[in-house]
Structure 1
Amino acid sequence: MNSINSSNQKQRRFLDNFAFKSYFVAAKTLLFTIILLNYGATGANAEPKALRPDIQIRNIMNTVLVSPSVRIVKDPRNNTLYYLKRNGDIYQVNLSLSNSTLVYTSSNHNLGETEGMAIGPNGTIYLVGNADLVNDQTKGIIVKGEIKSGTQQRVWSILAKSAAYPKSKTAYDHRFNGIVVSPDGNFIYVNSGSRTDHGEIQSVNGLYPNTREVGLTACILRLPTYGKNLFLANDRAALKTAGYIFAEGIRNTFDMAFAPNGDLFGTENGPDRDMSEELNWLRQGGNYGFPWRIGGTDNPQQFYNYDPAKDLLLDLKFNAVQRGYFRNDPTFPVRPTENLIEPIPNFGPDADKFRDPQDGKVKDASVLGQSLSSFTAHRSPLGLVFDTQGVMSLEFNRDGFMLSFTTGDPTGETLPGPFKDSGQDLLHLNLTKVGNTNYRFNATRIVEGFSNPVDSEIIGNKIYVLEYGGNQGIWEITMPTK
């Protein structure tokens, strides 16, 4: 195992226990198994590089501290930037001075493990966190910090808290994480990721027999921003009756964003099988297929005759494959009868590699004249933003932009990341609506060389990228204007 591969795998394992895509580390001969969960991403700090001359990049600052940086958001009232640490610390960024100031800690909002942050149009801050409980259970907590009338002080309160529900004690406990506020400020949308890699049984050594997903997992919740101490039952029917379920069949939509036309989009992290990762148009009542449909294809474990030994999409670099989670599974749940919503197809030219299940070879969809649903496997798509103000040049005007977290191998398939494809980049997503059924898009790489970029924000024609790895930099990407 070479040092670069080892470092990359350590990063991935740490992040899986946080909320990201599930990659555990190992080669055929496992050299180590102890990963320090309080240790940040490793590796030399990257220097991003623009892939076209009309894009400029500058480093605003580095944010490396004991706790990793996980989110960057703006206050829409005045475009002030904030970034969130995993331990709950919130910093305000001064773009002119290229520094930041600690403004809130867990002592203010009482969350010690935070994974999501958003700010509403009235300046209210929303935080998403999780708390571990006895008997290998967890619960999600959403708090809000409202500005006290006539002052600049914030009053923090609990908007919603979930019932306890069982973790799987694997890399696939994605828990509560991504959050976005509706443009009118009336609702928040919160991702509650899956507790499994691909719908397999995770019984926690028999503590929760025959348990796959539960009522609170693998869904997106919609909650009123005026809510106080809302209770989220671990019961899907009860959540639907209360009007809290927005979408189902979600594995881990770690990031969501509203487009200029008001449509909501989400990036979806895929499993440890070489299945494409998704960009979805998220709609009320939609079922996005997990665990039956993933990346535009069927999960083979749902079929009675599945033989993992013959599955050419299984790679021993990944934890779920090593541990035998892909198996013949006669009790796999029956597929829902309603239509499952497919991912948005990517027509290239970038981020569209796939492994052919017939011969096991990696191919380029757009070179073959095909589309892909939606991104090369194991890219870990994050940091979705849109030019909602329409200030960029015609080529980018009102389009989307997305980060890819994982280190890729542009010429081969040696890393536990995208194969024959670079990662750690910024993609331009040129989306086109196809009637009222779906979208299509072309993905083009425009910046490369980040160190595990984890989130982004957009102000005018400037995209601010936050890194999880290296020095945890904040980079300003200046895009061409009209």
Structure 2
Amino acid sequence: MMILRSILIFLGLSLPLHAASNGAQLYEQHCALCHGVQGTGIPGVFPPLANADFLKSHREKSLRAPLEGLSEKITVNGVAYHGAMPPVLLGDEDLAAVFSYVFSSWGNQLPAPSVEEIRSLRAKTKHPTLDSLQASMVGQQLPTPPEGWDLRVAAELSFSPVRLAMHANGRQVLALSRQGDIWLWNPDQTHLTRLIEASSYLDPSLGSPSSMGLTVDREGRLYVTCNQRNEKTNPVSNEVTIFRSEPWSKEDDRSWQKFTPWLRASYPFGIGPYNHGLSHIAQGPDGMMYVTSGARTDGGESGDLPNYDQSGEHHLTATLWRLNPDETPPRIEIFARGLRNSYGFCWDNRGRLFATENGPDADPPEELNLIEEGRHYGFPYQYADWTNKPYPHSPDLPAGIEVTQPIRNSTDSLSTFEAHSCPSGIIWLDHTWPKPFADTLLTARFGNLLKREKDVGFDVVHIQPNESSNRSAKVTTLLAPLGRPIDLLVLPGHQILIAEYCRGVTFAAGIGTPGRLLILRPKSK
């Protein structure tokens, strides 16, 4: 699915609610994923807002949609849509600013709503206050952990986390927000403190940020990956940067306070909402740094937006990069291709590299791939084990490319996960873990971002590789439901930290609530 940058134009979605209302900025964070940066929507899936007759003819219904959600069939510019829009957690002033922006953009010329108009419409809904709406969108119960294990809330967050990493001191934990702030968690506390503000190292002139990768290498250097949509270029570009600090020193707490760009690159920004960009970064057993560079399309389609590149993938996208940490700047080496959006990857104790992959809006399975140097994993030509094309525009497989198939899920006969379940962060548990976790994988699944008959994901699944075959595994649910889990981290003492992006455990609950950290650990004997 379109997770991450899709979560993320969308995920990450969160400016502080107390910030001054900026309609354009709030629109990008809360609306652009579905309706597009230019309000064009996604044909047949999400309705356009640009020059939209529905906004004029159904003003009250339009204004009430973010207040209470919208699930009925509607017609916009002669096209029928029957999806579902969850409520949006924005205050009356912010919603008035968003609608003022939409009503005066892309050919729309409509009277801007006042804060009072929004407030009076909210009073007519099932949840007449923002607090009431937020309370309704929060899951209260923790799922039942496996026998012999405890699951508890480790920390309530004021933001939505996108990545976790272990501090160089081996004791504290770092959490990244999509805006680029880095937060610090002490395991003996129930709150986080902001360690590094994004404004201290990001260049705002390059565009709004989407930061999705965070790690610490063996030298104690901190890395962050960031994508910025630069509208000053033609075509609009994705400015990708990997920031790196000096090695951490326990004698100098300021050693991480100054980031410098370690690598900069630029390529045309994505088509529609599908600019996945750089995300996960991690150091491999060989000492090299590996970085996911996601696709800039849903499925290799061409675009038609003015000022945006209208071709498909770029040679730097839908790939896994390998970088030498001894070089500054490093040369980009393409380690593997055909990876639409591998949000998470990890190595096992044998040095095998496993990566999750999010599929397109069509319905092929999401994938778990065993990544090997030089191989091609199909995108945008082939998806999982499908032999049919998901779209009429899907390109033919070029001569000379051999597609490596994903790992087969022997439990459900899929390659590998249910469509739209959005597998994200993944970890390897070595032989020291108690059964049944020894020598297995866990992955968080963010959950569907499109309306389905039945929600999928919202869980952590347990993956047992078939030791007689590299190409199959048993996949079972470990914890469900969770609030859109997005990353996992192994802690000392056979403990697992789980980052929930938000508190909604269903599609209908939306994603506007802040996240939290959960910890799974063995029961004390």
* TM-score normalised by the chain length of structure 1: 0.74
Q: Does the Cα contact within 8 Å between 2:152 and 2:518 map onto a contact in 1? A: yes
Equivalences for residues 256-335 of structure 1 within 5 A: 256-300=345-389, 326-327=391-392, 332-335=395-398
Partner of 1:360: none
Q: Does the Cα contact within 8 Å between 1:121 and 1:183 map onto a contact in 2? A: no
For the pair 1:70 / 2:159, whether they are aligned, the reply is: no
Residues 328 and 160 of structure 1: is their aligned pair in 2 closer, same or farther, counting only changes over 3 Å? closer
For 1:299 and 1:215, the matched residues in 2 are separated by 25
For the pair 1:425 / 2:459, whether they are aligned, the reply is: yes
Q: Does the Cα contact within 8 Å between 2:410 and 2:473 map onto a contact in 1? A: yes
Partner of 1:55: 149
Partner of 1:93: 185
Partner of 2:243: 143
Partner of 1:454: 486
Q: Does the Cα contact within 8 Å between 1:158 and 1:228 map onto a contact in 2? A: no
Partner of 1:15: 7
Q: Could you tell me how far 1:33 is from its partner in structure 2? A: 8.3
For 2:348 and 2:6, the matched residues in 1 are separated by 31
Q: Could you tell me how far 1:272 is from its partner in structure 2? A: 0.9
Q: Does the Cα contact within 8 Å between 1:19 and 1:175 map onto a contact in 2? A: no
For 1:36 and 1:420, the matched residues in 2 are separated by 21
Q: 2:227 aligns with which of 127, 130, 134?
A: 130
Partner of 1:473: 516
Partner of 1:253: 342
SS for the counterpart of 1:96 is: coil
Amino acid at match of 2:439: R
For residues 100-138 of structure 1, give each alpha carbon's deviation from its aligned partner in whole angstroms, at most 9, with x where no partner exists.
Answer: 221111244336431111111232111100122123211
Q: 1:229 aligns with which of 329, 338, 359?
A: 329
Q: Does the Cα contact within 8 Å between 1:73 and 1:457 map onto a contact in 2? A: yes
Amino acid at match of 1:261: R
Equivalences for residues 337-416 of structure 1 within 5 A: 337-348=400-411, 352=412, 371-388=413-430, 390-406=431-447, 416=451
Q: Does the Cα contact within 8 Å between 2:145 and 2:151 map onto a contact in 1? A: no
More helix by share: 2
Amino acid at match of 2:138: A
For 2:321 and 2:268, the matched residues in 1 are separated by 18
For 2:189 and 2:89, the matched residues in 1 are separated by 33
Partner of 1:464: 497
Q: Does the Cα contact within 8 Å between 2:222 and 2:244 map onto a contact in 1? A: yes
For 2:405 and 2:140, the matched residues in 1 are separated by 35
Q: 1:115 aligns with which of 191, 209, 212?
A: 212
Q: Does the Cα contact within 8 Å between 2:3 and 2:358 map onto a contact in 1? A: no
Residues 218 and 407 of structure 1: is their aligned pair in 2 closer, same or farther, counting only changes over 3 Å? closer
**Which structure: larger Rg?**
2
Aligned alpha-carbon RMSD (Å): 3.3
Q: Could you tell me how far 1:335 is from its partner in structure 2? A: 2.6
For 1:35 and 1:167, the matched residues in 2 are separated by 28
SS for the counterpart of 1:174 is: coil
More strand by share: 1
SS for the counterpart of 2:328 is: coil
For 2:296 and 2:243, the matched residues in 1 are separated by 23
For 1:203 and 1:189, the matched residues in 2 are separated by 33
Q: Could you tell me how far 1:464 is from its partner in structure 2? A: 0.6
Q: Does the Cα contact within 8 Å between 2:241 and 2:265 map onto a contact in 1? A: yes
Partner of 2:262: 159
Residues 81 and 207 of structure 1: is their aligned pair in 2 closer, same or farther, counting only changes over 3 Å? closer
Q: Could you tell me how far 1:147 is from its partner in structure 2? A: 2.0
For 2:288 and 2:397, the matched residues in 1 are separated by 33
Equivalences for residues 167-178 of structure 1 within 5 A: 167-178=269-280
Q: Does the Cα contact within 8 Å between 2:6 and 2:274 map onto a contact in 1? A: no
For 2:2 and 2:370, the matched residues in 1 are separated by 32
For 1:16 and 1:48, the matched residues in 2 are separated by 26
Q: Could you tell me how far 1:262 is from its partner in structure 2? A: 1.6
Q: Does the Cα contact within 8 Å between 1:86 and 1:113 map onto a contact in 2? A: yes
* TM-score normalised by the chain length of structure 2: 0.69
Q: Does the Cα contact within 8 Å between 1:266 and 1:279 map onto a contact in 2? A: yes
Q: Does the Cα contact within 8 Å between 2:185 and 2:191 map onto a contact in 1? A: yes
Q: Could you tell me how far 1:73 is from its partner in structure 2? A: 1.3
Q: Could you tell me how far 1:284 is from its partner in structure 2? A: 1.0
Identity, % of aligned positions: 25
The unaligned stretches of length 5 or more in structure 1 are: 1-8, 231-241, 302-325, 353-370, 409-414
Q: 1:195 aligns with which of 278, 285, 296?
A: 296
Q: Could you tell me how far 1:271 is from its partner in structure 2? A: 0.7
Q: Could you tell me how far 1:392 is from its partner in structure 2? A: 1.9
Residues 427 and 167 of structure 1: is their aligned pair in 2 closer, same or farther, counting only changes over 3 Å? same
For residues 190-248 of structure 1, give each alpha carbon's deviation from its aligned partner in whole angstroms, at most 9, with x where no partner exists.
Answer: 11111111112224348534x11111211111111223234xxxxxxxxxxx5610110
Partner of 1:442: 474
For 2:466 and 2:168, the matched residues in 1 are separated by 26
Q: Which of structures 1 and 2 has the larger relative contact order (alpha carbons within 8 angstroms, sep 6+)?
A: 1
For residues 389-417 of structure 1, give each alpha carbon's deviation from its aligned partner in whole angstroms, at most 9, with x where no partner exists.
Answer: x3321311121101111159xxxxxx625
Residues 426 and 10 of structure 1: is their aligned pair in 2 closer, same or farther, counting only changes over 3 Å? closer
Residues 207 and 74 of structure 1: is their aligned pair in 2 closer, same or farther, counting only changes over 3 Å? closer
Q: Could you tell me how far 1:297 is from its partner in structure 2? A: 1.3
For 2:240 and 2:360, the matched residues in 1 are separated by 22
Amino acid at match of 2:477: R
Q: Does the Cα contact within 8 Å between 1:47 and 1:449 map onto a contact in 2? A: no
Number of equivalent positions = 399
Partner of 1:320: none
For 1:268 and 1:229, the matched residues in 2 are separated by 28
The unaligned stretches of length 5 or more in structure 2 are: 13-32, 35-44, 48-70, 75-80, 95-132, 204-208, 504-513
Residues 77 and 391 of structure 1: is their aligned pair in 2 closer, same or farther, counting only changes over 3 Å? farther
SS for the counterpart of 1:298 is: coil
Q: Could you tell me how far 1:50 is from its partner in structure 2? A: 2.2
Q: Could you tell me how far 1:36 is from its partner in structure 2? A: 7.8
